[in-house]
Amino acid sequence: MNIEERIEHLRKLITYHSKRYYENDAPEISDFEYDKMFEELKALEEAHPEYYSPTSPTGRVGGRALDKFEKVKHEVKMASLTDVFSFDELRDFIRRVKNEVGEDTEFSVEPKIDGLSVSLKYENGALTVGATRGDGTVGEDVTANVKTIRSVPLTLNANASVTVRGEVYMPHKSFEKLNREKEENGESLWANPRNAAAGSLRCLDSKETAKRGLDIFVFNFQTGKTNAATHKETIDEIKNLGFKTIPLLYVGGNEDEIVNAVIKLGESRPTLDYDIDGTVIKVNSLEKRRELGEGTSTPKWAVAYKFPPEQKKTKLLDIEVQIGRTGVLTPNAVLEPVKLAGTVVSRATLHNIDIIKEKDIRIGDTVIVQKAGDIIPEVVGSVKEARTGDEQPYSMPSVCPSCGGALTYDDADDFLDDGEDFTLGALRCTNPSCPAQLERNITHFASKKAMNIEGVGGKLVKALLENQLISDPSDLYYLTKDDIARLDRMGEKSAQNFIASVEASKEMGLGRLIFALGIRHIGEVASSELASKFGSIDALFTATEDEIKEIGDFGDVMAKSVVDFFSRTETKYIVERLKNAGVKTSEEVKELSNEFEGLTFVLTGTLENMTRDEAAEMIKARGGKVSSSVSSKTSYVLAGEAAGSKLTKAQSLGVKIIDKEQFLEMCK
């Protein structure tokens, strides 16, 4: 066997065993044997580039990093679906379709995978383009990243030229592994597998994507030659080509059986290794689909039934108080662990004492929990009929549990909406030296949107405080490599990375520094506006409330908060040490243009090759305002991929919606 034959032989062997392992869950060889073959193939390909093949399994480890993603225009529009939220709405859809195209109409039922939609294009059996859905018409070329997904065939079982559509997702085991690694590195955790999948597929470095353990279900035939007359037949054809296809749970025309299939799928969610947020019901006949046609933005032959939040009963074991960086005490429910929407939940926020009283929640209660938006655990209420009499009402502490300092209730809302029940609002520790606040203040200071000191999360900050290496945020800039290296689970490499990240953070700029200092009522946007107006941290020490209120949207409360903060002795001390450490505390005051003056923008969804923060800065630099909520006063909604309820509200109010291209054109 010559070298070329050996390379081809190894490629076929690795492809076969990869499929057995990743798709069939039935490996025939050990990981050691597989890795040995893989390394041999890599070495042969590197030594003999003349035998390069774009479909080699070595391409799955990722290649060189990109500067940006190129755009791809889809041959067939990747449309979204109309959502239904009740079985009455689902039955109405079934009856409407049957009235229009015949009582003998059959439907398919399949899970709605909670991931990121992509198209996969093959020419003469070889994968040529993988692209994100984007706006449905134009997406991003993520071919290099798609190739790292083991269940995406690099070559088909036939010499076919086709385009298929699938959903890339992150299995629970991959998600848990990724978040475990992030936690160990002191990094922010992904909120849910869907966000993690979307972020992983859009990494500019495909080698990073290759580490994330993504997977895919293919569910639609987009273009190419087919003899199929039904959706089920297209799925069978796609499967025969070598794709991992979506499971069809039911195909038939009985209305009750369709509803029962949806119910069974909902009940099976806890047993799945991937997230689903609903069920897709489609007309099975391709001819009847053509007859029904398309709506303005969604097909008339399919709907997505969206599951209500999964609810479970569990025991409320205790209520513990968490102290935020601004001193607010938040009660948290300690729960008997329960599996909910794919993850184990053992804690949930109770927000404040008013919520606890309103829901009549007591320690020892059986409570109903759910995940708001399938993400954030929350206690819906107590099961009063399950009480034994041993349950204990809860009261907030009279002094701070961290420092023993005095507590006070904010002058927030004096009354609820009905104007009768008095609400206490937020309970706050008034001691600025409170250890619990200090830990969260320093963690906030180092966070990604503030000074962006990588690796400085809650665990590292706690260790630094316990070892008395820091007592305020400025101390981070005076730590040595040896200080970090001697901490538990920190070595030479981690210490070097920490020092490098601290050094880089010195150039983050005045706006980020102001935000990092954690001034009450002052967020990212307000911090940036303060930096733009005053130009230096020194100017803020002498700024008056009236001068600050000259900034649009700054009222009495925000202005007073800034003046109070910069009048403190500890603020002067920290800022002086930051300046001595070389942190940039001034910047040139920019002359702003005014073409967006009087306009209010709301940003929603993911913008291609641009963060929402960057878009917001462009708006503010032109005199416009950025709001977090849509109202009749909103001038424009800038909508990207996966835009949510803000887009829906804008449509209902008739607010003008623009995409990134239109926005950039306005900025010229």
Per-position b or e across 300-329, b if 16+ CB within 10 A of its CB = bbbbbbebeebebebebeebebebbbbbbb
Task: Transcribe 188-246 into DSSP letters.
Answer: PPPSSHHHHHHHHHT-S-HHHHHTS--EEEEEEEEES----SBHHHHHHHHHHTT--BP
Round to whole Å and give the CA distance between 378 and 384. Answer: 18
**Active-site residue among 12, 36, 112, 282?**
112
CB 60 within 8 A of CB 147: yes
Measured N-to-C along each axis, helices 524-534 and 612-621 cross at an angle, to the nearest 10 degrees, of: 40
Give Cα 206 to chain centroid, integer Å: 19
Round to whole Å and give the CA distance between 318 and 441. Answer: 26
Strand order in the sheet with 82-84: 82-84, 302-306, 276-283, 107-113, 250-252
Task: Transcribe 277-325 into DSSP letters.
Answer: EEEEEEESBHHHHHHH-B-SSSBTTEEEEEPPPPEEEEEEEEEEEEE-T
Round to whole Å and give the CA distance between 339 and 504. Answer: 41
Closest CA to 19 of 10, 28, 6: 28
Rg (CA), the chain: 28
**Is residue 481 flagged as an active site residue?**
no
Question: Two tokens at 667?
Answer: 């900025």
Question: Two tokens at 634?
Answer: 């909103």
Catalytic residues: 112
